[in-house]
Amino acid sequence: MPKRFVVAASEFPDLPRLAAGFELAEALTAASRQLHETLTPDSTLRTAARLAVDILPGAEHAGICEIERGTAPRTLAWTDDVVRSAEAGRTGDGQHGLWDRMWDGPVASITDSEADDGGDVLAALGLRSALSLRLRADRRRLTVLTAYARKPGAFDEDATRIGRLFTAHVSIALDSATVREQLTEAMHTRDLIGQATGILMERQGIDAAAAFESLVRASQRENVKLRDIARRIVDIHNGP
């Protein structure tokens, strides 16, 4: 998938721009398809990091991190070790001021880490440019995709525009994967509780309502989630 959208020369001055637009649309459609084929939020993030290098003009590396106020950022997906090194070098709410700015807007960038204040970590790794794009945000937590390049000034207005379009697709796919995972977990939990209820009914000679009530009381008494109580009963029942 090309990073830059090159079209043949034409006697019609608007045609190259339109053709490039069609190529971008096709690239984003293909990327969206790959994102929606992922089965879990983790696999969605890994796919998004990989695709970011293909989609964003100028990008050579990419990573996705979670930033929580007052804690060190946590890298969730990365294309290579240089990204992990770059993001591990940031502390607190984010050095370089790059991620600090993400609390106030959807985009932040570094034009040249050797010239910008606080770019020591990136400059030491040979990364001169960075473009951060917000995927998720609430008052306490951000999820941010950052593209990196070894050339200064690698990310222009086109890269930012394409990046925002791409992250919109990623956000939708991530929400879908999260809902899918939650529904799957809910189904597993329901089945697990059903098995535990059946075991208690058989052991204690009680009906389903009384067995479920017994599970709830045990959960409250031990301050343990209901599914964990149910899993314990099922594991003991199925054990050697």
For the chain, what are the domain ranges? 20-177, 182-238
Residue 35, CA distances (Å) to 78, 96, 201 in order: 15, 30, 44
Would you state the pLDDT for residue 240? 65
- CATH for 182-238? 1.10.10.10
| DSSP annotation of 11 | S
Cα separation, 5 vs 162, in Å, equals 11
Secondary element (H or E) of residue 155: none
Residue bearing tokens 């190529």: 23
Would you state the pLDDT for residue 97? 67
Pick the closest to residue 155 from 132, 178, 139 (CA basis).
132
The CATH label, of 1.20.58.1000, 3.30.450.40, 3.60.15.10, 3.30.1490.100, for the domain at 20-177 is: 3.30.450.40
Q: What angle do CA 99, 163, 10 make, to 5 degrees?
A: 150
Coil, strand, or helix at residue 220? helix
Q: What is the pLDDT of residues 60-95, one digit of tens each?
A: 999 999 988 877 788 999 999 999 988 886 544 344
Q: Can you name the residues that pair with 137 across neighbouring β-strands?
A: 142
58 — phi, psi (to 5°)? 95, -15
Q: What angle do CA 16, 22, 23 make, to 5 degrees?
A: 90
Ranges of residues in the chain whose predicted pLDDT is under 50? 1-15, 17, 91-96, 118
What is the pTM for the complete model shown?
A: 0.75
Cα separation, 204 vs 218, in Å, equals 15
